Amino acid sequence: MSPIRARCFFLDCARHRNTRGMYIEQSPKKNWPLGILLAFVLLYLPNLGVREFRTGEAVAATVAWEMCRNGDFLSTTVYGRHVDAFPLASWLISATSLFERPNEWTARLPSALAILGIAAMAGFVAARANGHLAGAVAAGMVLTAPVCLSAGVQAGSDAVFAFIIVAAWFSWYRLGRIEKRWSLAWTASLLLVAVAAFGWGARAFLYFYFPLFFLRRPLRFSVRSRTWGHFVGLAVAAIVIGSWLFKAPHQVFFPWEVLVFERLPRSTTGYFTHLLGFPIECALFLFPWPLLAWPGFCAAFRPLERTPVLCRYLRVLSIPLFLLVWLLPDLSPKALLPLIGPLAVLTGVHYPILVRRYHRKLERLHHYLAVSALYAGGVGLTFAVFHATGLLVIDGLQWRTWSSSVLLVAVATGTALYQTRHLDAARPFWVRLLVSITALRLIFLAVYPPVHSVLHGRRRTIGTELAAAVPAGATVYKHVARRLVSECFYMDRPVREVRGIQDIPASERQTAVLFVLDGARYPILDLNNRNWRPCSAAVDLRTRAAVRLSSTPPGKRGLFHVTKAFRTPSTADDAAVVRMYRGELRPPDERLPAAPPPPDAVAPGP
């Protein structure tokens, strides 16, 4: 590809004005998916594995690793104990980790790929409905929506579940309405819903079926559901899920944490606050796309729709589910992540009309975003210069991480500067909007994850400190009541949770050395046969990392130093302290006799 073509990657869609002075954007060429793929790489992959695991991510990664070690891919266990989790995310993490121990990058890759899959499906459906311009806008909306930017860089099943549900909705419409094969449409979509149930349980069927009840002719549910494919799909889904639950009897399937009957009476004030604030949160989770998505729900635009049945179908998918999640308490807008697919298609289909009518107002939106990216990049480059010259040194920030972050910030700032200085260039509005959002995202990825990991990362430090005296490959028996999933994951040692000496395998009770993770007091495990001593410093889990600015210590470079300080509460709490202990087996002549068992109870006489 020549430099000129590389510079105008998806840009042959040059805009122009017709003879009446009306703004029109021409359709891009067929290579626009390459530009969307480039945007995905820039938006999701930089510094994907820098931030340490949160608790939910560590649970998914630990379950995946124990599945690979035990060879049991149906049981969800953490350190040998069953946990209420769904296996789909752990299966995908195992696959992307090549069935080895996961890391931050491989654990989060399935979520990022799921967002790319949603963007591809939305782009394909919108392009078939209203041309390549609609497809490019729909795919760009999926990639740049804040809710997708958040879910796509977290290990878990949210993004994967949304991808499968969107695929089921689009398959149902494509195979049924377009190709007139309703039996195949029901079978294929229900098989996808059954797969989604491995990630979210019974909620998969609720998300798929609930909007369909509100469809009108020619897609009325009561008419279209009376096909043999619908019943075959339900039967196959029931067999698959029933076999799974039979093989994994402890698996949860109805995780109804959001039932109004359970939560509403406890916090009525919080529920009304949720009702008032939920729409605002949804708008922020999609910003700036709500400013472009409203025509899909405006009655004035409906006579201009080229595919009215598809648009009505997408609106019916969006509105009932939004109202349902809105009325259920304690739910985040992330619960509406599957709606990003239908909403993106509606936005793309109506985009040519919207940009034709409101081009001048939309230009202001792009200008504000470009200027924001320029200012953010300028601040980032200023701190980079301070760090390079020694005026302000961030302790622990490695040169390789710093140089790559500076490069990303410089590229994003230069792009934002070009955008602000060439507002009247012959580029389509959607391209410039996508570039401005990408520049803002690049600056965030270049600055926040590495700096936050250096100055606020605590779990990795705790895991490294606790496992420092444990040989590689030695099993650690966790006797403390706290979960400590992230901390134990970063110990990089096999961990098994025990409640007493009876939980330790008989073959390992006579090993020379045992390592036990316990609280402030010595472990009450095999006290008669072992001598216990601490082999790590006591770690107070209430300690929090904080940023401290100080003058440069003697012997170090720089004028000011930004360091990580730890704040521990002044009051002592043994329940919040964990420590690693080493138990060495006593010689036979030094072992204490075991306590006699309690006498059997004597049955009372008649």
Report the distance separating Cα 221 and Cα 215, nearest Å. Answer: 6
Report the distance separating Cα 8 and Cα 34, nearest Å. Answer: 12
CA distances from 44 to 154, 364, 365, 448, 462 (A): 11, 27, 23, 14, 28
Whether the upstream peptide bond of residue 288 has omega within 30° of 0, thus cis, is yes
Secondary structure letter of residue 397 according to DSSP: -
**Residues paired with 24 in a beta bridge:** 16
Q: What is the pLDDT of residue 2?
A: 43
**Residues paired with 393 in a beta bridge:** 561
Q: 10 Å Cβ neighbour count for 536?
A: 19
Report the distance separating Cα 23 and Cα 18, nearest Å. Answer: 7
Cβ neighbours of residue 41 closer than 8 Å, sequence gap 6 or more: none
- Give the residue carrying structure tokens 């939004």: 322
Phi-psi region of 98 (alpha: psi -120 to 50; beta: other; left: phi over 0): left
Enter the tokens of residue 371.
């200027």
Amino acid letter, 586: R
Report the distance separating Cα 77 and Cα 135, nearest Å. Answer: 42
CA distances from 477 to 243, 275, 481, 496, 500 (A): 33, 46, 12, 5, 10
Enter the tokens of residue 597.
């068992």
Query: How far, rounded to the nearest angstrom, does the alpha carbon of residue 11 sit from its chain's CA centroid?
Result: 31
- Give the residue carrying structure tokens 């069935």: 99
**Residues paired with 579 in a beta bridge:** 518
Enter the tokens of residue 384.
């980079």
Enter the tokens of residue 263.
């939560």
Report the distance separating Cα 218 and Cα 110, nearest Å. Answer: 37
Enter the tokens of residue 406.
């500076």
Report the distance separating Cα 27 and Cα 351, nearest Å. Answer: 12
**Residues paired with 560 in a beta bridge:** 392, 551
Taking a C-beta distance cutoff of 8 angstroms, is the pair 310, 133 a contact?
A: no
Report the distance separating Cα 492 and Cα 8, nearest Å. Answer: 47
Report the distance separating Cα 371 and Cα 207, nearest Å. Answer: 39
Report the distance separating Cα 380 and Cα 312, nearest Å. Answer: 45
Torsional sign, CA 417, 418, 419, 420: positive
Taking a C-beta distance cutoff of 8 angstroms, is the pair 124, 64 a contact?
A: no
DSSP percent split of the chain into helix, strand, coil, nearest 5 = 60, 10, 30
Enter the tokens of residue 317.
């998918």
Taking a C-beta distance cutoff of 8 angstroms, is the pair 539, 466 a contact?
A: yes
- Give the residue carrying structure tokens 């040989």: 471
R_g of the chain computed on alpha carbons: 29
Q: What is the pLDDT of residue 235?
A: 92
Taking a C-beta distance cutoff of 8 angstroms, is the pair 57, 107 a contact?
A: yes
Strands (E), 18-137: 23-25, 77-78, 81-82
Enter the tokens of residue 288.
């700036």
Residues comprising the chain, all counted: 606
pTM for this predicted structure: 0.86
Q: What is the pLDDT of residue 110?
A: 94
Report the distance separating Cα 175 and Cα 150, nearest Å. Answer: 32
Taking a C-beta distance cutoff of 8 angstroms, is the pair 148, 337 a contact?
A: yes
CA distances from 215 to 224, 235, 243, 319, 374 (A): 10, 23, 32, 11, 46
Which residues of the chain carry a pLDDT beneath 70?
1-23, 255-269, 396-397, 399, 422-426, 524-528, 550-559, 561, 588-606
Taking a C-beta distance cutoff of 8 angstroms, is the pair 346, 353 a contact?
A: no
DSSP code string of 512-542: SEEEEEE-SSPP-SSTTTEEEEE-S--EETT
Q: What is the pLDDT of residue 396?
A: 67
CA distances from 221 to 4, 147, 308 (A): 52, 30, 18
